[in-house]
């Protein structure tokens, strides 16, 4: 191996460090929520976060399921319409129902329909548990 091989290896190690630093900034997505027609999801709202794709990053909806596990849902057009109309706060209870799809037409793909409702929730966020008041002495 030539001296250039050491340089190549050093560059690769630096790139790995860059990738690891980038991944620390990305949110833990959890499993994808995939709803078939007339299926539903109940859980809590975590917000909007980045998902790394081959084309860069894209925003997805972050959720917790009813067991407190992190989940995410892609931003589809009609789901975005529903979410944008709500004033969601981290921790709110959320229910998402997928309706029957609108059929494809000559110039349009089938369209997924969604309905979303929320309710404020004062329960501790998943993973935080009950937090006792701390009094510094």
Specify the pLDDT at position 108. 76
Specify the pLDDT at position 28. 84
129 — pLDDT class (breaks 50, 70, 90): low
Q: Indicate if the pLDDT at residue 133 is higher than 50.
A: no
Find out whether 80 and 68 touch, Cβ atoms under 8 Å.
no
The alpha carbon dihedral of 45, 48, 83, 96 has a sign of negative
What is the spatial distance between Cα 29 and Cα 135, in angstroms, rounded to a whole number?
Answer: 34
pLDDT in tens, 72-106: 999 999 999 999 989 999 999 999 999 999 888 88
Q: Pick from 112, 104, 122: which is nearest to 73 by CA?
A: 112
Q: Which CATH architecture has domain 28-119?
A: Beta Barrel (2.40)
Query: Structural domain boundaries of the chain?
Result: 28-119
pTM, to two decimals: 0.73
What is the side-by-side order of every strand in the sheet holding 70-74? Answer: 31-32, 70-74, 56-65, 40-53, 93-98, 114-119
% of residues, the chain, pLDDT over 90: 58
Where does 76-135 have alpha helices with state H?
77-84
pLDDT in tens, 10-36: 999 998 888 777 665 556 889 999 999
Specify the pLDDT at position 57. 87
Specify the pLDDT at position 88. 95
- % helix, strand, coil for the chain, step of 5: 25, 35, 45
What is the spatial distance between Cα 22 and Cα 5, in angstroms, rounded to a whole number?
Answer: 26
């Amino acid at each position: 191996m030539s001296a250039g091989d050491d340089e190549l290896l050093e560059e690769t190690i630096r790139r790995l460090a860059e990738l690891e630093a980038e991944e620390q900034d990305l949110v833990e997505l959890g499993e994808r929520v995939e709803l078939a027609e007339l299926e539903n999801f109940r859980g809590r709202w975590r917000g909007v976060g980045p998902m790394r794709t081959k084309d860069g990053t894209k925003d997805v909806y972050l959720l917790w399921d009813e067991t407190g596990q992190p989940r995410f849902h892609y931003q589809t057009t009609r789901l975005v319409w529903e979410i944008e109309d709500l004033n969601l706060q981290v921790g709110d209870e959320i229910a998402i129902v997928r309706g029957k799809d609108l059929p494809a037409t000559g110039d349009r793909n089938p369209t997924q329909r969604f309905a979303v409702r929320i309710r404020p929730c004062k329960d501790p966020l998943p993973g935080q548990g009950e937090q006792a008041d701390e009094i510094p002495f």
